[in-house]
Chains A and B, each alone.
Chain A
């Protein structure tokens, strides 16, 4: 008994000394300055948990990294989050709880639904700038959502980038034809009308438009429609994996030489890992460099080093991780700009700082300097799956929409 207590005591003492050593070794973050809180409603469980765990890891690791760099203007950063299960009511409750017990200048919202729901409260408080998992076009409406931004191109802009790429792929002076396939959800429908308008403006014919139920669904009837429409490109939106695989496999079985493309949430390695060889040739628009891309840069290198240190066994970090990290990078930049201007950290001041971002070098996270437009960063690149190598490779230059 005594030995057991002694043993536990030694272990605790050991842990205590390690903790003390870590504190002593930590880079100089001014202890007298108030911490800046990054808040977050994070979907660690529920339907979006597949991405939520990585978003969370990205935010956590960025916080570790920024603190190792001395915090933001000497203020340490504290990341406070709650799991929401990807349910709007739980996200709202988490927001109220976190903002009720902390001063939270920036906050991560886990869904478009939550970000729309909380908008009026966010606007009336005027103290918090919000971004998150959503790239919804609506959130870049400055009139309605002045205190929210998206950490990349919105879905309409992603379609714009995809169509810009498609327009360059015509043969004999003819523009390729395209079909849109999207889920019957708010997420899925987001860019469709604008996408059709943009395609018409660019002279690209939309030969088929297919709506499916989200998730596990048989699409063999829809594939039959594709067989008749014979589009040169199919653009998917509103999915993560299924039914993209079924469209690709079945359309290829029919002998069609259609090329397949998708937006952010359907352009991760998941597609390669799950589809294997069948994923070859699939293309996605991505605003960030992939974790395992050949690209580099000081921030991208720091991200990789921090990720490696925080979980050496994790290996590749998904795009959700990059998104979480980039969100926190933008928050830092915005807070820093606001502080440097001698202004209070109000939502309005931070939104102004965000709008002032021009030709910002993200240190390799995005391959070219970026400029904020209407609370978004309308930049991206088309990447194609090389199934043999098991990764995405760039097939276009970086495209920055005006």
Chain B
């Protein structure tokens, strides 16, 4: 066995898994606080990546200015979606809310096609291009630096949720909405905050993934792949999203390298099937979660 090759493949998979974890985090934050399964997460990622393209490509801004602007734009979009489309659905069945998110996804695809057209796009190159070597192991620079940026946001998030007032309010609402409300927490605001934070994580991941693999109006399909991550990790578990994201990224890459690209998805879905049979609430999810 070529251990160097295995090491390089594993490293690439773990780095990609880090980005999956970031998207999964966006998914889980929204679900945990609001109990809404957001099927538009991939399209929010896509929209942010197009914003980056517009700022860095069309307006020729520095990518390091365009990146935060695009991510903020994506998170703002999440907040607006919650306010005008999801909030009126409070009290409706979860299926109805899920259908609204699917509708939002279609609308976003249409809007992107109208503004930027249907051509596949490449984002302006903004990550260092010098190959990264860890010991003798090669790692594609885009993946390596994308992972570092994503990991930085993950750390900021974890610190925010642990120590800030907003983070505590969010965790409290996730644990018990009624109790949080009775303690004076503005639950509606927390819902909005969850969409903003969830979309922000997804938006950053969107720009980083698009920088690696290109962008098109169909880019949002990646959001569905990440559904596997959050179901394996547990829909309401941040730790689960992080661990499952990294694991699924690694598994997908190793399966692709050793079995062939056509086995990437079957490998991850095999894991999903096993998890659903033995732990239907995911590796780290809570038992009472409601499935759709």
A contact residues vs B (CB 8 Å cutoff)? 45-50, 52-53, 184, 210-213, 215-225, 227-228, 240-243, 245-246, 249-250, 253-254, 270, 274-275
Inter-chain CA distance A62–B265, complex, in Å, is 43
Judge whether A216 and B8 touch: CB under 8 Å. no
Taking each of A211, A219, A220, which has the highest tally of chain B beta carbons within 10 Å of its own beta carbon?
A: A220
Judge whether B264 and A213 touch: CB under 8 Å. yes
Inter-chain CA distance A246–B209, complex, in Å, is 12
Inter-chain CA distance A211–B266, complex, in Å, is 14
Contact of A50 among B120, B129, B140 (CB under 8 A): B120
Give B249's nearest chain A residue, CB to CB. Answer: A218
Contact of B218 among A47, A184, A223 (CB under 8 A): A47
Distance to closest chain B CB from A193 (angstroms): 14
Judge whether A212 and B214 touch: CB under 8 Å. no
Give 14 pairs: A residue, B residue, CB < 8 Å, sorted on A.
Answer: A50-B119, A215-B214, A216-B209, A218-B209, A218-B253, A220-B12, A222-B257, A241-B214, A242-B213, A246-B212, A250-B140, A254-B138, A274-B120, A274-B121
Contact of A224 among B8, B118, B262 (CB under 8 A): B8
**CB within 8 Å of A: which B251-268 residues:** 253-254, 256-257, 260-262, 264-265
Inter-chain CA distance A249–B213, complex, in Å, is 12
Q: Is B141 an interface residue (CB 8 A)?
A: yes
**Given A211-B262, A228-B5: A221 in contact with B257 (beta carbons within 8 A):** yes
Distance to closest chain B CB from A291 (angstroms): 16
Judge whether A246 and B119 touch: CB under 8 Å. no
Give B254's nearest chain A residue, CB to CB. Answer: A221
Give B259's nearest chain A residue, CB to CB. Answer: A211
Residues of A within 8 A of B216 (CB): 47, 50, 215-216, 242
Give B8's nearest chain A residue, CB to CB. Answer: A224
Given A246-B214, A270-B119, 16 other A-B residues pairs in contact with their CB atoms under 8 A: A45-B118, A46-B118, A47-B218, A210-B260, A211-B262, A215-B219, A218-B12, A218-B209, A218-B212, A224-B9, A225-B257, A241-B214, A242-B216, A253-B129, A254-B131, A275-B122
Inter-chain CA distance A249–B264, complex, in Å, is 23
Residues of A within 8 A of B209 (CB): 216, 218
Residues of A within 8 A of B60 (CB): none
Judge whether A242 and B214 touch: CB under 8 Å. yes
Residues of B within 8 A of A274 (CB): 120-122
Kindly supply a per-residue 1/0 record for chain B positions 105-148, scoring 1 wherever the CB is within 8 Å of any chain A CB and 0 otherwise: 00000000100011111100000011100000011111100000
Residues of A within 8 A of B120 (CB): 50, 240-242, 270, 274
Inter-chain CA distance A225–B140, complex, in Å, is 13
Residues of B within 8 A of A224 (CB): 5, 8-9, 12, 138, 257
**CB within 8 Å of A: which B1-38 residues:** 2, 5, 8-9, 12-13, 15-16
Contact of A213 among B141, B257, B265 (CB under 8 A): B265
Judge whether B140 and A223 touch: CB under 8 Å. yes
Judge whether A212 and B261 touch: CB under 8 Å. yes
Distance to closest chain A CB from B160 (angstroms): 28
Inter-chain CA distance A222–B140, complex, in Å, is 11
Give B144's nearest chain A residue, CB to CB. Answer: A220
Q: Is B56 an interface residue (CB 8 A)?
A: no
Give A212's nearest chain B residue, CB to CB. Answer: B261
Judge whether B138 and A53 touch: CB under 8 Å. no
Q: Is B222 an interface residue (CB 8 A)?
A: yes
Taking each of B2, B12, B261, B265, which has the highest tally of chain A beta carbons within 10 Å of its own beta carbon?
A: B261
Give B263's nearest chain A residue, CB to CB. Answer: A211
Inter-chain CA distance A213–B216, complex, in Å, is 14
Contact of A49 among B2, B118, B129, B142 (CB under 8 A): B118
Give B130's nearest chain A residue, CB to CB. Answer: A253
Inter-chain CA distance A62–B113, complex, in Å, is 26
**CB within 8 Å of A: which B209-260 residues:** 209-210, 212-219, 221-222, 253-254, 256-257, 260
Judge whether B222 and A221 touch: CB under 8 Å. no
Judge whether A216 and B257 touch: CB under 8 Å. no
Give A225's nearest chain B residue, CB to CB. Answer: B257
Judge whether B213 and A243 touch: CB under 8 Å. yes
Distance to closest chain B CB from A85 (angstroms): 11
Judge whether A211 and B260 touch: CB under 8 Å. yes
**Given A211-B262, A224-B257, A240-B120: A245 in contact with B141 (beta carbons within 8 A):** no
Inter-chain CA distance A211–B140, complex, in Å, is 19
Judge whether B256 and A222 touch: CB under 8 Å. yes
**Given A221-B256, A245-B122: A216 in contact with B140 (beta carbons within 8 A):** no
Give B110's nearest chain A residue, CB to CB. Answer: A45
Distance to closest chain B CB from A53 (angstroms): 7
Residues of B within 8 A of A221 (CB): 8-9, 12-13, 253-254, 256-257
Inter-chain CA distance A345–B189, complex, in Å, is 68
**Given A218-B12, A221-B257, A241-B122: A227 in contact with B138 (beta carbons within 8 A):** yes
Give B118's nearest chain A residue, CB to CB. Answer: A49
Give B264's nearest chain A residue, CB to CB. Answer: A213
